[in-house]
Structure 1
């Protein structure tokens, strides 16, 4: 039986979200469902605020990399001739299968494939494994980041961090307990490597700092 009026009014939260999903919020809020719900709502606001810069970053990243690789390999479907490893070929194959399930096996374009492969595919191309640093980075992908001020290794680390953080948001996981100012700076930094005008646009519409400043009193930041 729930005796606390506040807890009674928020009993639906446990049923809707499940105890397992609510547990991190309850722990951070000190065990009260009403406070946990406030924290959950703030987490939703944070995810919404991060969505625009993550959107710009992912779209610009894959388009810039696709453009360079298409030019370097001399083929719109460059993935058919590039020395991708097994994981890369698998991701391309899955993208094709997904498009085929939507009835687009014969009609899909290179742009359809670019949009269908996951962010992890593009991040993997900046790694050192399978000589990707020589095959892709040195002669092609380096030019996709005209304002790069870091090494390939640091860029790959930033991109992988963005990928992991982006996946948490897209899979509805908590982000309130992450170092959000650092996440914000990382996304902005990579966007700046790609395009100065895009960086300026991202900063102009950025809401992350405003949402961070509205954190509940029991938030861990």
Structure 2
């Protein structure tokens, strides 16, 4: 009887394991997981899933350095244009691209950003420029904007050392590296693997592909400014990548999942309860008049270490009735930030 129950339990566990794994394979898609069987010689779905997680970690490391490159490249280009070619700064920059053929990809990207900005009540040129994708800035670094091309921004090679001061590479070599970064960014955004090399003989060849890709990222970051490499050190990009590229680390991810049924399900309410910070404070009413009621908490101070007075929402005043100076209440503090400064508001006020 005991043997029978053991067999039944084992069979049921195998069913559960298969059922959960089948669900995960469907959610991710067999195609995305089977690539690890082709390139890493994985033999089970569990091994493929472990390597899929490894690839996610790898993509996160690349995302961090690409973010640094994207922001600093955009700023380096715009700072140089604003200083060296003032007729193309600000609105002139936008107008130039909007004057191009409507099928021009850069114009399409400008128009898309322009459309998004116009949905706001007000916006600045900087707001629009911040919406332009990495591919837009990558294209500016191409030979399309050589000085010999009339009607272009005419940046290269004269302004190469202004935009890329920390490299001996030619603008052509820089653009080649930037193109690699752009391809990586697009692959990551589409959840595609970034190590794929059809000519790689084995796992070591695939890792070399990763290292070469990261080298291209480092070269671009350094070209823009050598201090970018310090930023990358601060976010531990190189250290994290080196660890993920170790054979032992990849082996560990291959063996990460032995029994999917033993992996716990996240308790969402418990997660929120354990991690959300308390934002309700006790305060004292300091001022009451026909226009506003103000509350303060001695611990809540501004950047100048001054006590903050929070204005109570008028609708709340009506709900809880009249208050007087000295009343003790609980409230949730908020700040409204705009061009005129900061305005402190008290919500969820309750009289104690």
TM-score (norm 1): 0.85
Pair 1:141–1:94, CA change in 2 (3 A): farther
Give 1:23-62 correspondences, 5 Å limit. Answer: 23-28=34-39, 29-62=41-74
Contact 1:192 1:199 in 2 (8 A): yes
- Are residue 167 (structure 1) and residue 186 (structure 2) matched? yes
Looking at CA atoms only, which structure, 1 or 2, has the larger radius of gyration? 2
Q: Greater relative contact order: 1 or 2 (C-alpha under 8 angstroms, separation 6 or more)?
A: 1
Contact 2:166 2:225 in 1 (8 A): yes
Give 1:52-201 correspondences, 5 Å limit. Answer: 52-74=64-86, 75-82=89-96, 85=100, 86-100=104-118, 103-104=119-120, 107-129=122-144, 132-134=145-147, 135-177=154-196, 179-201=209-231
Secondary structure at the aligned position of 1:10 is classed as helix
Instruction: Compare 159-168 and 198-207 and name the one that shifted more.
Output: 198-207
Question: What is the CA-CA distance between 1:177 and the residue it aligns to?
Answer: 2.8
Pair 1:35–1:94, CA change in 2 (3 A): same
- Are residue 216 (structure 1) and residue 251 (structure 2) matched? yes
Name structure 2 gaps, 5 residues minimum. Answer: 1-10, 148-153, 198-208, 255-352
Question: What is the CA-CA distance between 1:165 and the residue it aligns to?
Answer: 0.5
Secondary structure at the aligned position of 1:215 is classed as helix
**Greater strand content:** 2
Name structure 1 gaps, 5 residues minimum. Answer: none
Pair 1:81–1:96, CA change in 2 (3 A): closer
Instruction: Compare 185-194 and 195-204 and name the one that shifted more.
Output: 195-204
TM-score (norm 2): 0.55
Distance 1:199 1:182 in 2: 16
Instruction: Compare 51-60 and 13-22 and name the one that shifted more.
Output: 13-22
**Greater helix content:** 1
Question: What is the CA-CA distance between 1:35 and the residue it aligns to?
Answer: 0.8
